[in-house]
Structure 1
Amino acid sequence: PFDTEEEVLAYANSTTYGLAATLWTENLSRAHRMAEALEFGIVWINCWMVRDLRTPFGGVKSSGVGREGGVEVLRFFTEAKNVCISY
């Protein structure tokens, strides 16, 4: 048990990993505030492992090497190239 949101954030964000976090609350304002402050690639609120494959998934810090899923995956698996042709 924690007394303040700040205590929760300090404890949760102190890890070197950041794949995913879950948050359980009845307070929608708190849910938004905490989701923004949590240093994780995905934050589930009042649920767990719900995922739409069209959305990016991946960790931050020492978790993972980027994002998979959604358009974010294109940045990971492609290399941009500029080709100019005078025809």
Structure 2
Amino acid sequence: MIKEIRAGITWINCYNPTFNEAPWGGYKMSGIGRELGEDGLLEYQETKQININLNPGPVGWYEH
């Protein structure tokens, strides 16, 4: 049943508990994005590629 509900947060047999570790946010006209938790932090990040060469020898074209 919860999969059918279009809501950012759903309570069952309780009301208004929330946790800093749990992301929450709106659906449709009440907003997009998430706050709190790991999902909230992702809104402020950009993916970057980082390469680290742990081989002490020459790299790439200079190997030969």
Q: Same fold (TM over 0.5)?
A: yes
| 1:76 aligned partner | 43
> Residue 32 of structure 2 corresponds to which residue in structure 1?
65
Q: Deviations over 1:13-46 (max 9, x none)?
A: xxxxxxxxxxxxxxxxxxxxx2121011111112
Q: 1:75 and 1:83 mapped to 2: Cα distance?
A: 18
The structure richer in strand per residue is 1
**Residues 1:52 and 2:52 aligned together:** no
Unaligned ranges ≥5, structure 2:
54-58, 60-64
Greater RCO, CA 8 A, separation 6+:
1
Question: Please, which runs of 5 or more residues in structure 1 have no aligned partner?
Answer: 1-33
C-alpha deviation, 1:56, in angstroms: 0.6
Which aligned runs of 4 or more in structure 1 are off by greater than 6 angstroms?
none
- Scaled by the length of structure 1, what TM-score is found? 0.52
Q: How many residues are paired up?
A: 54
Measured on the aligned residues, the alpha-carbon RMSD in Å equals 1.9
